[in-house]
Amino acid sequence: MTHYALDAQAYWRRWLPRTHAALSDPDAFYRQLADDVQERVSTAWDVLAEIHLTSDITDPTKRANLLRLLLRDAEHTVMQALVHLPPEADTAQPATEPAAHHARLREFDSLLAQQQATVRSLLHSDRSVSETSDGELAQALQLMPELLATLGTSLDELRSLGREI
């Protein structure tokens, strides 16, 4: 098993014991979950690198360190969304094995696609911050809070202009 699968299995055993116990084939489930995480980490990492890995960073060591940092950020974001789910309460019912996982994947994929589209349109000057809705900005900032600095603005500045972000 990959480290994503092992992390998920350990977390779910500890914090989601009823859901873990309800899995009909835990090894297959955790292998698939790890594959899903890996795919989304790669996508999120690409988006973060597009924002932060600018042409003015020419030192190979700095570029490598930045890429490692961005990878950790992407992993954290994806793991929080797909693996490190809220612990089960005493009254919680276990989620159904494939349906709950696939619902989380669809929700995360949708969010990531919207964030990616917003970020790319802003970075490529297809539209400006003022042309972007508060909801789109808030959503993009969930994945990459440093985006506004890259665009030459800040949350405080946008809020002073009446934006509700």
Say if 91 falls within a structural domain.
Answer: no
75 or 89, higher pLDDT: 75
Would you say residue 151 has pLDDT above 80?
no
Residues 72-95, mean pLDDT to the nearest whole number: 80
In a domain, 145, yes or no: yes
Give the pLDDT band (50/70/90) at residue 91.
very low
Cα Rg, the chain, nearest whole Å? 18
Instruction: Look at residue 124 and tell me whether its pLDDT is greater than 60.
Output: yes
- Residue 144: inside a domain: yes
Residue 32 lies in a domain: yes
Per-residue pLDDT at 43 exceeds 90: yes
How many percent of the chain have pLDDT more than 90? 34
| The pLDDT value given to residue 115 | 81
* Cβ-proximal residues to 71 (8 Å cutoff; 6+ apart), any chain: 41, 45
Out of 21-35, 50-64, 120-134, which region has the weakest mean confidence (pLDDT)? 120-134
pLDDT (tens digit per residue) in 6-42:
999 999 998 899 999 999 999 999 999 999 999 999 9
Residue where the block lists tokens 């964030």: 115
34, part of any domain: yes
Does residue 94 have a pLDDT over 60?
no
Which range marks the domain in which residue 29 is found? Answer: 3-15+25-86+98-160
137 inside domain: yes
The two most distant CA atoms of the chain are separated, in Å, by: 54
125: confidence class by pLDDT, cuts 50, 70, 90: confident
Instruction: Assign 5 a pLDDT band (cuts: 50, 70, 90).
Output: very high
> Comparing C-alpha atoms, which of 151, 157, 155 is closest to residue 52?
151
Residue 82 carries which side chain, given as an amino acid letter?
L
Q: Is the residue at 36 inside a domain?
A: yes
Kindly state the percentage of the chain with pLDDT values over 70. Answer: 89
Q: Say how many domains are in the chain.
A: 1
Does residue 165 fall inside a structural domain?
no
- pTM flag (> 0.75): no
3-class secondary structure for the chain?
A: CCHHHHHHHHHHHHHCHHHHHHCCCHHHHHHHHHHHHHHHHHHHHHHHHHHHCCCCCCCHHHHHHHHHHHHHHHHHHHHHHHCCCCCCCCCCCCCCHHHHHHHHHHHHHHHHHHHHHHHHHHHCCCCCHHHCCHHHHHHHHHHCCCHHHHCCCCHHHHHHCCCCC
